[in-house]
Amino acid sequence: MGTVLVADAWTATARAHEAAVDERLAGHLERRRRGEKHPVEDFLFTYYRLRPAALRRWAPGLGVGLLVDGAPADEVAERAARRWHRVVDGAVELDVEHYLAERGGTVRFVRDLLTATASRPAQLGCFGLHEWAMVYRLPEGAQRHEDHPLRLGAAGTDEVVETHRIRCSHHDAFRFFTPEAVPLNPLRPSRSGVVDQEQPGCLHATMDLYKWAGQLGPVVPSALLLACFDLARDVRELDMQASPYDLADLGYPPVRIETPDGKAEYARRQRALADRAAPLRRSLVEVCERLLDQDGSSGRRIATRGQRSSPLAASASRTALSPCGSSSSGTTTKPARA
């Protein structure tokens, strides 16, 4: 363990993180209570497995222990009972050996995938046409977001697909192509080939950083997880603005990728999102590598609110203590739409 946080520091950080998540998710949770769907914000909790309660559950990340002295007994008990955790020398810490015994394969896969993705140049010429290929030649009313019309109609949507080059490199987008659209994509992305196929310009590969941070669980500082969530939400916004659906009534003006101006806007925003993703991807790789390099050392020192010994722990504290937070790329985030 590298650092131990005293009780007043880590409990305050945990409360600030919870407040930041509550602010972001207020709209989503209220709509869920009313039984209302939202094609942008629901996606992060239907497509991905991480539930709102898990996003809200603060974790300091790898190499940081939480001193139990002075902390509420019920909170200490809850944290000590969490999977892969234990109390050693008066501090709640991650049981790295136990974690790696169960999750080592996932850690290695995530490291290899994100390292390979980062090694490739960003391809920015897809213009979000994967969403159009998902509704290509579908009968009226058969599209996934049935509550929202196709802004060009079925015939106009099909024409866009037929007059553009489809080049999708992400399996989890490609697998939803209609049968008629599949032959239009020269690439054949597959789940088994994902390490060899993903590239950093892909919106879905960028959005998936949130998935991988969530799957790594408590070894990832909550500040990093929340930054990945913020990025994924912004990616999803562009994804749906550039889609064939008309979401203007929800406050999302279309990015008209069928026009030169729309293509330019899409590529510009896609590049900005990829630039935001790069440091988050590096941080996740760093977590994986530090975890796999653990040598069992128990050396540690006590850190107060003003003392920090780990860059990732420092990022967790700084970001979580701000109600709206900021991503690792320095981009100010915004609260979720109500």
Q: Is there a domain that residue 288 lies in?
A: yes
Query: Residue type at 239?
Result: D
The answer to whether residue 328 sits within a structural domain is no
- Does residue 325 form part of some domain? no
pLDDT > 90 fraction of the chain, expressed in percent and rounded: 80
Whole-model pTM: value is: 0.86
pLDDT digits (tens, 9 = 90+) for 30-48: 999 999 999 998 899 988 9
- Under the banding of pLDDT at 50, 70 and 90, the label for residue 140 is confident
CA distance 271 to 124: 7
Query: Can you give the pLDDT at residue 1?
Result: 61
Considering its fold, how many domains does the chain have in total?
Answer: 1
Give the DSSP H/E element, type plus range, for residue 296.
Answer: none
Query: What percent of the chain is predicted at pLDDT more than 70?
Result: 86
In a domain, 330, yes or no: no
- Band (pLDDT 50/70/90 cuts) for residue 142 is confident
CB crowding 269-285: b at 16 or more within 10 Å, else e: bbeebbebbeebbebbb
Instruction: Tell me the one-letter amino acid at 275.
Output: D
Nearest to 112 by CA among 193, 42, 185: 193
Residue 338 resides in a domain: no
Q: Which domain holds residue 282?
A: 3-320
Asked whether residue 37 is assigned to any structural domain, the reply reads yes
Question: What are the angstrom distances between the C-alpha of 308 and each of 13, 32, 38, 51, 104?
Answer: 14, 39, 40, 30, 28
Asked whether residue 337 is domain-assigned, the answer is no
Distances (CA, A) of 151 to 43, 45, 226, 239, 249: 21, 26, 33, 15, 12
Q: What is the pLDDT of residues 187-221, one digit of tens each?
A: 999 999 999 999 999 999 999 999 999 999 999 99
Does residue 128 fall inside a structural domain?
A: yes
Closest by CA to 220, choosing from 274, 291, 297, is 291
